[in-house]
Amino acid sequence: METQLEALRRHTTVVADTGDIEAIRTYRPTDATTNPTLILKAVQKEEYRYILDRILTDHRNADVVEKTNRLLVAFGREILDIIPGRVSTEVDARLSFDVNGSIDRAHDLIALYEQSGIPRERVLIKLASTWEGIQAARQLQSEGIRCNMTLLFSLPQAVACAQANVQLISPFVGRIYDWYKKAAGPQWDEAANAGDNDPGVQSVRRIYEYYKAYDIPTEIMGASFRNIGQIRALAGCDLLTISPELLNELNSSTEPLERKLEPEAAKRNPPPREATDEVAFRTGLNDDAMATEKLAEGIRNFSADSVKLDALLA
């Protein structure tokens, strides 16, 4: 009997959200995504200690930035040996408001991949969906360096990313859900806010419908899931990046899973066009308390884990 994971693959490209190489080998995703938190978690496991040790031994005189870049690329290369598609490697979140710094770091990462025989087409550079991150992506895309915009919580961010011709966006489902649940406090009704009614699901659906209505080629990859109900509600999204724990849950269930998102359905009732300039971006983001807070929180947390990674490599 078909599992939910098998059914999902018929509608959506399945991506593994992890730095755990063995988990990737087990679930056979098409693509994989990493971030500083996932790499920090993976590198502290005994089975991946050899990657860290190799960097420290072979590049003992390099500065911490180069060591970090080499560590990220080393994990990316290991992952690309297993999957048929692309790996996402993240630029340091501390550069989220630095256009030139983000571009330079992306160049460094791509150069390391290409030096090891990995073509740039198999790498997505992850950048935070700040205005500065999006402008860095615009420049990188013009150079043939494909970008994955992360920490995305709102339609204004998604529209600005589309205007910059980025390859892919990663709207965060679970973190939106977290914010609304916390804001509601004791009044939160889990059943009433599940599945299609989940606020994170609704945010991704809004972006999906906008993109498909106007034939925007940027790929949409739902991310940051808290339960398989959120994943089931977004079946049909271009891609979904899923943790090993939830991949296992999907792989263990044989309940029916149907497609929920259809490009043609979005075109039948197109939403109004959104403005795409910087003022519209900053105003729209500022008007959305959830998106503003979760973007800032995400940058802080990823930055903190980058500092911890620096300490391991120093």
Domain ranges of the chain: 4-313
Give CA–CA dist 144/218, Å, rounded. 14
The mean per-residue pLDDT over the stretch 237-255 comes to 97
pLDDT at residue 85 above 90? yes
> Is the confidence at residue 30, as pLDDT, over 90?
yes
**In this predicted structure, what is the pLDDT of residue 36?**
84
Which has the closest alpha carbon to 220: 53, 15, 68, 29? 15
Q: Which of 23, 24, 123, 128 is nearest to 73 (CA)?
A: 123
Q: Could you report the per-residue pLDDT of 110-141, keeping only the tens digit for each?
A: 999 999 999 999 999 999 999 999 999 999 99
Quickly tell me which residue has 């990657």 as its tokens. 51
Q: pTM for the complete prediction?
A: 0.96
Residues serving a catalytic function are: 126
Residue 314, pLDDT score = 84
For residue 7, pLDDT beyond 90: yes
DSSP 8-state class, residue 93:
G
State the average pLDDT over residues 235-261.
97
pLDDT tens digits for 160-183? 999 999 999 999 999 999 999 999
Decide: 109 and 123 in contact? Cβ < 8 Å. yes
Residue 56 confidence (pLDDT): 93
Residue 171: phi, psi to the nearest 5?
A: -65, 135
Residues 6+ apart with CB under 8 A from 86: 31, 32, 121, 122, 123, 124, 146
- Across residues 33-44, what is the average pLDDT? 90
**17: helix, coil or strand?**
strand
Question: Would you state the structure tokens that stand for residue 199, as one six-digit string?
Answer: 């606020």
Contact (Cβ atoms closer than 8 angstroms) between residue 66 and residue 274: no
Is residue 101 scored above 90 in pLDDT?
A: yes
Strand partners, 100: none
Mean pLDDT of the region 216-233: 98
pLDDT of 46 reads: 92
Mean pLDDT of 197-204: 98
Q: Is 190 exposed, middle or buried, given 0-12, 13-18 or 19+ CB atoms closer than 10 A?
A: exposed
Residue 1's pLDDT is what?
87
CATH of domain 4-313: 3.20.20.70
pLDDT of residue 181: 98
pLDDT of residue 252: 96
Mean pLDDT value across residues 40-60: 92
pLDDT at site 301? 96
Q: How far apart are CA 36 and CA 307, in angstroms?
A: 9
**Crossing angle of the two packed helices 155-163 and 199-213, in degrees rounded to 10:** 30
Q: Find the Cα–Cα–Cα–Cα dihedral 156, 31, 18, 94, rounded to 10°.
A: -40
Percent of the chain with pLDDT over 90: 96
- Say if CB 71 and CB 15 are below 8 A apart: no
Closest CA to 274 of 154, 95, 134: 154
